[in-house]
Amino acid sequence: MTKTMGDPVSATAADGATRQTPPLPTGWPLAMAAAFAAASVGIAFLAGSSVAALIGETMRLPGAMLAALGIALVLAVPIRRALAARSRSREAWTAGDPVAARVAAAHARHHAFTAMGVGGFLLPVLAVATFLTINDAVVYKTFLRGDVILASLLDVTRAFGANLSIAITAQILSMLLGLLLAVGRSLQGSSFVLVRGVCIFYVDIFRSLPAIVIIYLVCFGVPLMGIPVLSDGDPMLYAIVALSLTYAAYNGEQFRAGLKGIHHSQISAAQSLGIPPGAVLRLIVLPQAMRRIAGPMLGNFIALQKDTALVNIVGIVDAFTQAKIYSANYYNLSSVTVVCILFIAVTIPQTRLVDYLVARAETKEGR
């Protein structure tokens, strides 16, 4: 007899097949968890050995064993739970209870993945600890010497103010110039073809050249020209101009993307109400565009802040220049680590802010 889809016999057979579907496999997650655990214990042994050797050579083996045992105990908890859940899954499946088997298998996979996650966290941490302390902590003594860090901290932090002032001033100027470039490229009609061409040429040129080349040409080239007033400026002023010219090209593209994201119907509606073109741009288009590009624009500012370290090639005493002075005096690079810490402390909060702004914009757009 032919069975239709609505036949109770067919439905019963399908339900039976579903109930007999085996749970998801737990073997490979447990194998991966064991591999992560073994690697973590091995790295912990090396890290404990190198750290304990700093206290005394006789402490090397006990320290290594203690570190390895501690990591093994930490990872043993989720692995033991995963094995127990896997055993329960097999028992439930053998007893003819597929639902309980699937639930237990899911628990086993969860605990196995937890062990993998903990191991994935411990591996790089222990690897860094080993790298810093191995070979009598030569890496630590080269980059993280406490006395050099404390001696250079105040002067390097003061010099870091030059980096911040250059970055803030250059960002303001580059945004103004970038807005002009974006508006110029957005002008329609054959009457503005030359304006569009100039803007495109500027953006293409300055996006193609490294920032360090522009800084070198402006800071050394302008004084060499011998033009009154223009050639008598401060090197920091030239550095600000060079970075402003460079990042205006990038900011201009961000502005142009924001302007293109505004539907032309809004501009047409505003013009039909008799609003002047300048007011349309200032009151309607730009506020919406700025909200759209706030995240990417802040990303450009972060890149600009990092590029301020390039100004040391023209003799400006920024944080990196000050750190190099201490490095030469102490024959140690720990003062440069201070520069890294300062840039990280300033950049990471801004990076998180960029992520927040981008996520908020995507939420508003319903993505």
CA distance 103 to 273: 65
pLDDT in tens, 181-216: 998 988 888 888 999 999 999 999 999 999 999 999
Closest of 122, 132, 133, 137 to residue 43, by C-alpha = 122
- 347 neighbors 306 (Cβ within 8 angstroms): yes
pLDDT in tens, 270-290: 777 778 877 877 788 877 777
Can you give the pLDDT at residue 38?
93
Give me the helices (H) in 187-318, please: 193-208, 211-225, 235-260, 264-272, 277-280, 286-307
- 182 neighbors 195 (Cβ within 8 angstroms): no
Closest of 157, 69, 104, 137 to residue 341, by C-alpha = 157
* Count of CA atoms in the C-beta half-sphere (13 A) of 221: 9
Of 162 and 297, the one with more pLDDT:
162
pLDDT bucket at 11, cuts 50 / 70 / 90: very low
Q: CATH 1.10.3720.10 in the chain: give the residue spans.
A: 147-364
Can you give the pLDDT at residue 326?
95
Can you give the pLDDT at residue 82?
93
Helix crossing, 193-208 with 235-260: angle to 10°?
120
Closest of 267, 210, 215, 259 to residue 241, by C-alpha = 215
Question: Above pLDDT 90, what percent of the chain?
Answer: 54
CA distance 86 to 32: 15
Q: Is the pLDDT of residue 5 over 70?
A: no
Of 15 and 112, the one with more pLDDT:
112
Question: Above pLDDT 70, what percent of the chain?
Answer: 93
Q: Is the pLDDT of residue 45 over 60?
A: yes
Between the ranges 4-8, 111-115, 131-135, 252-256, where is the mean pLDDT highest? 111-115
pLDDT bucket at 366, cuts 50 / 70 / 90: low
pLDDT in tens, 225-280: 888 878 888 899 999 999 999 999 999 999 888 878 777 777 778 777 778 877 87
Q: What is the pTM of this model?
A: 0.76
Neighbours of 172 (CB within 10 A): 12
Please tell me the class of the 147-364 domain: mainly alpha
CA distance 192 to 177: 18
- 202 is written with which tokens? 């500027």
- 133 neighbors 48 (Cβ within 8 angstroms): no
CA distance 59 to 233: 62
Per mean pLDDT, which range of 89-93, 289-293, 360-364 is the poorest? 360-364
pLDDT in tens, 325-358: 999 999 999 999 999 999 999 999 988 888 887 7
Across residues 108-131, what is the average pLDDT? 93
Q: Is the pLDDT of residue 26 over 50?
A: yes
Can you give the pLDDT at residue 358?
75
pLDDT in tens, 69-83: 999 999 999 999 999
Can you give the pLDDT at residue 114?
94
Q: What is the pLDDT of the chain when averaged over all its residues?
A: 87
- 164 neighbors 346 (Cβ within 8 angstroms): yes
